[in-house]
């Protein structure tokens, strides 16, 4: 059986979590859940890093002894993870006796083996990082590269770890094992860091009292970073449960943000090597979330609280809180390729909720169940002989679980989700094109039943595959589908088999799981010439009444974007080539600040086709697309689900 040990960093308890920390933990949770789905034996660890000068200071500011402070903050992290249904198997706190024992044991071992020696350490020191920096790592004006604050020249008599001796070893390891540090950008960064030369590392402190005492010289404490890294072997049972350690350590993966790759990919393996223990299997460093382009940090205080983001989505959508939490997780994992940096916005969350969850997934479920309820008395119809596009949908389903599994194994959440959404898109297209309502009208109940069965079957498969990302929402979908077997017991193998739904099963349609968020549209606001919303924020401008005949003079059509490019010399304009039925035309629109040209290709939009043509910056615009302007953002109008281009809208 495959085993899988996944860790998050242990978070500092000097403050409360923001979306950055939540991101790492949600990603780790998703992988852990995926691996369980794939049948692996999983151990998922998270925890808190509770020693060091920063915590000591923070406690002093709060007027509390450090132990009381950490005892007060650590439960907040645990509560957050519980609220977000994080499925960790253990939660480690570095102030626990099991960890103190392990840290002293390994430190002693390194000393016994001659890997730690007493010496003088001096250098530029950032008290916030609790780390020394070399001259060339500092920013101009001798500022810490992380905190952008002045560093101090620091001299200490303490114990040093012979990191420099492992330089060739770790360089070769990272060169020869391309999978050891991922993604590639981080691997390259580590290689050049090592080639720049490794210096011995101060691993004890005389000045810091709040730490684990050096076993052979208790007036010193073990440097918090070295001690913190050891949590990964404490929790897997190196001292307490050697059997578990033996089974899981060779399958260990450390997940973290790229701010702390060095500690995990260089220092930690070297230290383990020094004490005769194997390296973790993989170190995976993801990118950073910014807010309006600014780095989020506790020090700066510009951080976004994940719980309030979720509550805001819950309130605007009316979805259950747990479903809103799922949507938040989905958005973080879908929006930005894992490993790259991303800018967080609530608007992106709303967009993903509406477009992907409410439309593509939720609405497909609602309308299919409604047809079964109405025409088949709420019992899943038995499928007849496959016809036309049925086979294509089934073939797509057959390859999806393994394709997604491969993506997930490579931490490629974005592509795994895109694959699943392509399948949902195909299922939407399938029901639209096979039109069960037409078969019913023609009296062909067998065909209508087959189509509905196939669509529900596609939903069953997608739902199993989505459990790691949408644990609460998929549970609700599952209940509405009426499947008797618990969702928690489903495995990847169940998603591989077409035909898992039992005909005759009583469906249980309920209220929409992802209720669409209505974003108010300003009357008369179209994107051809975006302007500030009239009538104040969120208000609707009073306009003259028109008759239905007058309205009918406006020819609105579904259009598919074929090409999109910037208009030279205009930073707001894009030139689009769109297909409307059999014809194509050019539309110039003021949407360049919100939409990248490539993101529009293949999208269905709504175009007014009978406006008089107009020349804009030398380009003839033969129509106007519909969009809402809100908070100075232009948001394209779209359709609830896919319809062919050329269809009229009234």
Distances (CA, A) of 580 to 389, 392, 588: 24, 26, 15
Q: How far apart are CA 95 and CA 228, in angstroms?
A: 10
Nearest C-alpha neighbor of 222 from the set 98, 99, 48: 99
Task: Quote the tokens at residue 158.
Answer: 């303490």
Q: Which of 66, 183, 237, 257 binds ligand MSP (CB under 6 A)?
A: 257
Q: Which of 4, 6, 10, 439 binds ligand MSP (CB under 6 A)?
A: 10
Per CB under 6 A, 229 contacts ligand MSP: yes
Give the residue nearest to ligand MSP (CB): 20
Binding part of the chain for ligand MSP, among 10-18, 83-91, 110-118, 495-503 by CB under 6 A, reads 10-18
Per CB under 6 A, 131 contacts ligand MSP: no
Shortest Å distance, C-beta 17 to ligand MSP: 8
Query: Residues touching ligand MSP: how many (CB under 6 A)?
Result: 18
Q: Which of 288, 321, 437, 498 binds ligand MSP (CB under 6 A)?
A: 288
Per CB under 6 A, 289 contacts ligand MSP: yes
Shortest Å distance, C-beta 29 to ligand MSP: 13
The full length of the chain comes to 650
Binding part of the chain for ligand MSP, among 4-12, 130-138, 321-329, 501-509 by CB under 6 A, reads 4-12
Edge-to-edge order in the sheet of strand 41-49: 90-93, 41-49, 3-12, 252-257, 282-286, 181-182
Shortest Å distance, C-beta 493 to ligand MSP: 33
Q: Are 604 and 643 in contact (CB under 8 A)?
A: yes
Identity of the residue, 39 or 278, whose beta carbon is nearer to ligand MSP in the bound complex:
278
Identity of the residue, 254 or 604, whose beta carbon is nearer to ligand MSP in the bound complex:
254
Nearest C-alpha neighbor of 425 from the set 643, 598, 606: 643
Task: Quote the tokens at residue 463.
Answer: 């739902």
Per CB under 6 A, 186 contacts ligand MSP: no
Q: Which of 4, 5, 6, 11 binds ligand MSP (CB under 6 A)?
A: 11
Query: Taken in order 462, 465, 471, 476, is the CA torsion positive or negative?
Result: positive
Q: Which residues, other chains included, contact 117 with Cβ-Cβ below 8 Å and sequence gap of 6+?
A: 159, 160, 162
Q: Which of 4, 5, 6, 23 binds ligand MSP (CB under 6 A)?
A: 23
Identity of the residue, 258 or 577, whose beta carbon is nearer to ligand MSP in the bound complex:
258
Tell how many helices (H) and how many strands (E) occur in the chain: 23, 26
Per CB under 6 A, 109 contacts ligand MSP: no
Binding part of the chain for ligand MSP, among 253-261, 355-363, 434-442, 520-528 by CB under 6 A, reads 253-261
DSSP type of residue 514: S
Radius of gyration, alpha carbons of the chain: 29
Distances (CA, A) of 575 to 96, 580, 587, 607, 621: 62, 16, 6, 14, 8
Q: Which residues, other chains included, contact 43 with Cβ-Cβ below 8 Å and sequence gap of 6+?
A: 3, 4, 5, 6, 89, 90, 236, 244, 248
What's the angle, vertex CA 114, arms to CA 111 and CA 120, rounded to 5? 80
Per CB under 6 A, 587 contacts ligand MSP: no
Shortest Å distance, C-beta 229 to ligand MSP: 5
- Active-site annotation, residues: 18, 21, 126, 129, 144, 147, 295, 298
Q: How far apart are CA 532 and CA 541, in angstroms?
A: 12
Q: How does strand 556-566 pair with strand 574-580?
A: antiparallel
Per CB under 6 A, 24 contacts ligand MSP: yes
Shortest Å distance, C-beta 49 to ligand MSP: 3
Q: How far apart are CA 650 and CA 642, in angstroms?
A: 16
Per CB under 6 A, 245 contacts ligand MSP: no
Per CB under 6 A, 91 contacts ligand MSP: no
Binding part of the chain for ligand MSP, among 133-141, 257-265, 442-450, 563-571 by CB under 6 A, reads 257-265
Per CB under 6 A, 223 contacts ligand MSP: no
Identity of the residue, 228 or 461, whose beta carbon is nearer to ligand MSP in the bound complex:
228
Per CB under 6 A, 338 contacts ligand MSP: no
Per CB under 6 A, 228 contacts ligand MSP: yes
Distance of CA 189 to the CA centre of its chain: 23
Q: Which of 109, 130, 259, 444 binds ligand MSP (CB under 6 A)?
A: 259
| Partners of 254 in the β-ladder | 7, 283
Site for ligand MSP in 45-64 (CB under 6 A): 49
Nearest C-alpha neighbor of 189 from the set 264, 123, 245: 264
Binding part of the chain for ligand MSP, among 171-179, 288-296, 377-385, 473-481 by CB under 6 A, reads 288-296
Nearest C-alpha neighbor of 528 from the set 583, 474, 499, 567: 567
Q: Are 566 and 600 in contact (CB under 8 A)?
A: no
Shortest Å distance, C-beta 449 to ligand MSP: 48
Binding region for ligand MSP (CB under 6 A)? 9-12, 20-21, 23-24, 49, 228-229, 256-257, 259-260, 288-289, 296
């Amino acid at each position: 059986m495959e085993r899988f040990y996944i860790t998050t960093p242990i978070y500092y308890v000097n403050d409360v979590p923001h979306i950055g920390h939540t991101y790492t933990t949600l990603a780790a949770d998703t992988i852990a859940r995926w691996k369980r789905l794939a049948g692996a034996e999983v151990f998922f660890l998270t925890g808190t890093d509770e020693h060091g000068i920063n915590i000591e200071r923070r406690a002093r500011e709060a007027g509390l002894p450090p132990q009381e402070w950490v005892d007060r903050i650590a439960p907040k992290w645990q509560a957050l993870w519980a609220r977000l249904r994080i499925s960790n198997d253990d939660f480690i706190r570095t102030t626990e006796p099991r960890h103190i024992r392990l840290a002293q044991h390994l430190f002693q071992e390194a000393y016994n083996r001659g890997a730690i020696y007493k010496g003088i350490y001096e250098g530029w020191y950032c008290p916030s990082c609790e780390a020394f920096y070399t001259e060339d790592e500092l920013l101009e004006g001798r500022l810490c590269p992380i905190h952008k604050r002045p560093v101090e020249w620091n001299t200490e008599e303490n114990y040093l770890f012979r990191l420099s001796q492992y330089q060739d070893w770790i360089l070769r390891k990272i060169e020869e094992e391309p999978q050891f540090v991922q993604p590639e950008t981080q691997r390259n960064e580590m290689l050049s860091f090592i080639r720049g030369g490794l210096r011995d590392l101060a691993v004890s402190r005389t000045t810091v009292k709040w730490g684990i005492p050096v076993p052979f010289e208790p007036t010193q404490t073990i440097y918090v970073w070295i001690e913190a890294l050891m949590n990964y072997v404490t929790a897997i049972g190196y001292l307490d449960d050697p059997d578990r350690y033996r089974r899981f350590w060779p399958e260990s993966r450390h997940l973290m943000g790229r701010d702390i790759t060095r500690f995990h990919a260089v220092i930690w393996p070297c230290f383990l090597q020094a004490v005769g223990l194997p390296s973790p299997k993989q170190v995976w460093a993801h990118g950073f979330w910014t807010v309006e382009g600014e780095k989020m940090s506790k020090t700066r205080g510009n951080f976004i609280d994940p719980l309030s983001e979720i509550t805001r989505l819950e309130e605007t959508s009316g979805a259950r809180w747990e479903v809103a939490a799922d949507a938040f997780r989905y958005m973080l994992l879908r929006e930005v390729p894992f490993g790259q940096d991303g800018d967080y916005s609530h608007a992106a969350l709303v967009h993903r909720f509406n477009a992907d969850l409410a439309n593509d997934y939720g609405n497909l479920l609602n309308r299919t169940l409604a047809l079964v309820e109405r025409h088949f008395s709420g019992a899943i119809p038995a499928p007849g002989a496959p016809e036309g596009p049925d086979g294509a949908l089934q073939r797509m389903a057959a390859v999806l679980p393994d394709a997604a599994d491969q993506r997930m194994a490579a931490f490629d959440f974005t592509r795994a989700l895109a694959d699943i959404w392509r399948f949902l898109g195909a299922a939407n297209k399938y029901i639209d094109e096979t039109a069960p309502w037409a078969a019913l009208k023609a009296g062909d109940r067998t065909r209508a039943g087959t189509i509905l069965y196939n669509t529900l079957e596609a939903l069953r498969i997608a739902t199993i595959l989505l459990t790691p990302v949408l644990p609460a929402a998929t549970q609700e979908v599952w209940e509405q589908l009426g499947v008797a077997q618990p969702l928690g017991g489903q495995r990847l193998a169940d998603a591989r088999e077409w035909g898992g739904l039992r005909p005759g099963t009583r469906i249980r349609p309920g209220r929409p799981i992802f209720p669409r968020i209505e974003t108010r549209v300003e009357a008369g606001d179209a994107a051809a010439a975006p302007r500030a919303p009239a009538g104040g924020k969120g208000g609707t401008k009073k306009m003259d009444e028109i008759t239905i005949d007058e309205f009918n003079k406006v020819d609105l059509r579904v259009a598919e974007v074929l090409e999109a490019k910037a208009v030279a010399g205009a930073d707001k304009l894009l030139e689009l080539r769109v297909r409307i039925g059999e014809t194509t035309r050019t539309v110039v629109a003021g949407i360049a600040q919100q939409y990248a040209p490539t993101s529009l290709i293949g999208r269905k939009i709504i175009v007014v086709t009978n406006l008089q043509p107009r020349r804009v910056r030398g380009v003839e615009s033969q129509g106007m697309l519909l969009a809402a302007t809100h908070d100075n953002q232009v948001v394209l109008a779209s359709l609830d689900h896919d319809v062919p281009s050329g269809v009229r809208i009234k």
